[in-house]
């Protein structure tokens, strides 16, 4: 617990009633499965809260809710907007049912649903105000025997609907918790109703996150468990849907889902969880970016991912970087815009990871293949006070020459980083294409099926 100076304690306590009085009313939800012969057919939701002094509260709920009713009056608007009306400051309830299916075509509109489970972003399942005013959320699951419910909506702080766009609401019959140790950094908890169908994804995730944990460095004492909520549909196809807000992953997957597509974001999430906190925007290109390069490099060298999988991952990352409006942002701009431009927070990871591959190609060429960047980074502090100076010294000691001009060019000044065609080694080709806006975007493709 943070230390509170004694002279401020009384003032803090005296201020609490006024602060709480100004808080918006709590949103209290009760979620109940609607069953027929033991199988899930719908999800019933009741919202209980208070309208404001105007006697109104607007909530948003996309899709087709059924059996809509309220203790007050409900006025329907466009884009899923509903206005609840009652006497000023009075309690009001809204009840409805949601139905869905497991065909992976109802993102952000209807919950995914099958006979034994429901999986959904909470902002899809729950009717919530969309006015950017943070509110506390209480969620109760009213479940029969053998059913369990999970939510990632935080109970300890107020949130907005936008905050919860990637939250997880998962409910299932006979849910099991499949656990895997992640080195000495934590435990993977995979919650699912079908452990057999989810086993390949669980195993790949555990192997990958163990590499992430081991790569985080012996001096790093960070410990983090990682939960997953996995709903195998059993339907044919290789599609999947996944969402996360950084500390978990919710997955709905068809029978032949392409697993590396799911695990790629999980790797980034877990690396971020183990990275030094708080994130310093000035050094994020190193702590988030170059350290992620080391993780990806180790995933490849240990055989956890194939070169084909890696090519797909890097193609996606390179495309995001090349299409980012902040792709040419200087490091000073990254620092100044960090809190007010959320999209800029992805640039240091993308830029730093690609920078790692550029430095690796140069180092291998300079040393005739005797040295590589992964070994250099593995010997470095995960969070040096001056990463640019420490990195330059480490690369020079390994025989890579002076990289200070490259750091200045691509990190400090933020020039567009583009890899040479052969920078990624065998089986991965780098090409440069112009997109519809005329921007030059690099693509990475698999050119052979050889194992790493």
Give the H or E element holding residue 6. helix 6-21
Domains and CATH numbers, the chain: 26-173 (2.60.40.3650), 275-452 (no CATH)
Residue 101 phi, psi (nearest 5) = -145, -175
Chain centroid, CA 122 distance in Å: 15
- According to the model, what pLDDT value does residue 219 have? 62
- Band (2; pLDDT cuts 50, 70, 90): very low
Which residues, 6 or more positions from 75, have their beta carbon under 8 angstroms from its beta carbon?
82, 83, 85
Cα(227)–Cα(248) distance, integer angstroms: 5
Cα(77)–Cα(70) distance, integer angstroms: 16
- Using the structure block, give the residue that is written with the tokens 């877990």: 270
Which residues, 6 or more positions from 257, have their beta carbon under 8 angstroms from its beta carbon?
201, 237, 238, 239, 240
Q: What share of the chain is helix, strand, coil (3-state, %, to 5)?
A: 35, 25, 40
Q: Is 167 within 8 Å of 246 (Cβ atoms)?
A: no
- Using the structure block, give the residue that is written with the tokens 């519809």: 436
Burial (CB < 10 A; 0-12, 13-18, 19+), residue 148, is middle
Give the H or E element holding residue 48. strand 39-50
Res 106 pLDDT > 80: no
Chain centroid, CA 164 distance in Å: 12
Which residues, 6 or more positions from 270, have their beta carbon under 8 angstroms from its beta carbon?
182, 209, 212, 213, 224, 226
Check residues 386 and 306 and name the one with the higher pLDDT: 386
Cα(298)–Cα(304) distance, integer angstroms: 8
- According to the model, what pLDDT value does residue 20 have? 47
Average pLDDT, the chain: 89
Burial (CB < 10 A; 0-12, 13-18, 19+), residue 303, is exposed
CA within 13 Å, CB half, 440: 9
Q: Strand 226-232 to strand 249-253: parallel, antiparallel, or no bridges (unpaired)? A: parallel
Residue 172 phi, psi (nearest 5) = -155, 160
pLDDT digits (tens, 9 = 90+) for 336-353: 999 999 899 999 999 999
Cα(83)–Cα(311) distance, integer angstroms: 48
Res 283 pLDDT > 90: yes
Other residues' Cβ atoms within 10 Å of the Cβ of residue 436: 5
- According to the model, what pLDDT value does residue 105 have? 74
Q: Where are the alpha helices (DSSP H) in 338-441?
A: 347-366, 373-378, 387-397, 404-407
DSSP label at residue 342:
G
The phi-psi region of residue 379 (left if phi > 0; otherwise alpha if psi is between -120 and 50; otherwise beta) is: alpha
Buried b (16+ CB within 10 A) or exposed e, 77-104: eeebebebbbeeeeebbbbbbbbbebeb
Res 199 pLDDT > 70: yes
The DSSP secondary structure of 246-306, one letter per residue, reads SS-EEEEE-TT--HHHHHHHHHHHHHHHHS-SS--TTTHIIIIIIHHHHHHHHHHHTTSS-
- Band (9; pLDDT cuts 50, 70, 90): very low
Check residues 293 and 23 and name the one with the higher pLDDT: 293
- According to the model, what pLDDT value does residue 177 have? 98
Which of the residue ranges 3-12, 238-247, 253-262, 396-405 would you say has the lowest mean pLDDT? 3-12
Q: Is 28 within 8 Å of 155 (Cβ atoms)?
A: no
Other residues' Cβ atoms within 10 Å of the Cβ of residue 267: 22
pLDDT digits (tens, 9 = 90+) for 286-336: 999 999 999 999 998 888 888 888 888 888 899 999 999 999 999 999 999
């Amino acid at each position: 617990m943070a230390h509170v100076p004694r002279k401020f304690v009384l003032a803090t306590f005296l201020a609490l009633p006024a602060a709480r009085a100004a808080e918006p009313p709590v949103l209290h939800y009760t979620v109940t499965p609607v069953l027929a012969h033991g199988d899930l057919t719908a999800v019933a939701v009741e919202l209980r809260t208070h309208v404001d002094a105007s006697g109104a509260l607007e909530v948003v709920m996309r899709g087709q809710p059924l059996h809509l009713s309220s203790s007050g009056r409900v006025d329907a608007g466009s884009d899923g907007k509903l206005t609840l009306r009652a006497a000023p400051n009075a309690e009001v309830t809204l009840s409805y049912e949601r139905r869905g299916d497991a065909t992976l075509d109802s993102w952000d509109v209807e919950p995914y649903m099958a006979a034994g489970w429901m999986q959904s972003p909470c902002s899809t399942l729950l009717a919530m105000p969309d006015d950017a005013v943070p509110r506390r959320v209480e969620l109760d699951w009213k479940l029969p025997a053998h059913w369990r419910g999970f939510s990632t909506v935080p109970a300890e702080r107020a949130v907005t609907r936008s905050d919860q766009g990637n939250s997880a609401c998962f409910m299932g019959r006979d849910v099991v918790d499949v656990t895997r140790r992640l080195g000495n950094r934590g435990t993977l908890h995979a919650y699912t109703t079908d452990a057999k169908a989810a086993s390949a994804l669980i195993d790949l995730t555990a192997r990958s996150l163990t590499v992430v944990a081991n790569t985080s460095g012996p001096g790093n004492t960070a410990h983090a468990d990682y939960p997953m909520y996995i709903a195998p549909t059993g339907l044919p196809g290789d599609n999947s849907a996944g969402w996360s807000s950084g500390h978990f992953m919710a997955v709905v997957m068809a029978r032949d889902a392409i697993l590396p597509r799911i695990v790629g974001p999980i790797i980034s999430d877990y690396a971020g969880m183990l990275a030094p906190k708080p994130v310093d925007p000035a050094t994020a290109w190193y702590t988030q970016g170059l350290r992620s390069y080391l993780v990806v490099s180790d995933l490849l060298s240990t055989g956890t991912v194939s070169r084909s999988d890696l090519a797909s991952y890097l193609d996606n990352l390179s495309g995001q970087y090349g299409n980012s409006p902040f792709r040419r942002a200087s490091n000073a701009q990254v620092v100044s815009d960090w809190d007010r431009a959320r999209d800029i927070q992805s640039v240091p990871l993308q830029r730093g990871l690609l920078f790692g591959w550029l430095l690796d190609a140069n180092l291998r060429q300079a040393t005739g293949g005797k040295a590589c960047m992964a070994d250099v980074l593995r010997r470095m502090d995960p969070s040096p006070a001056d990463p640019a100076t420490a990195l330059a010294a480490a690369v020079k000691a390994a025989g890579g020459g002076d990289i200070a001009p490259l750091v200045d060019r691509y990190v400090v000044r933020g020039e567009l980083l583009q890899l040479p065609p052969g920078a990624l080694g065998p089986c991965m080709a780098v090409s440069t294409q112009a997109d519809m806006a005329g921007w030059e975007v690099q693509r990475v493709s698999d050119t052979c099926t050889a194992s790493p």
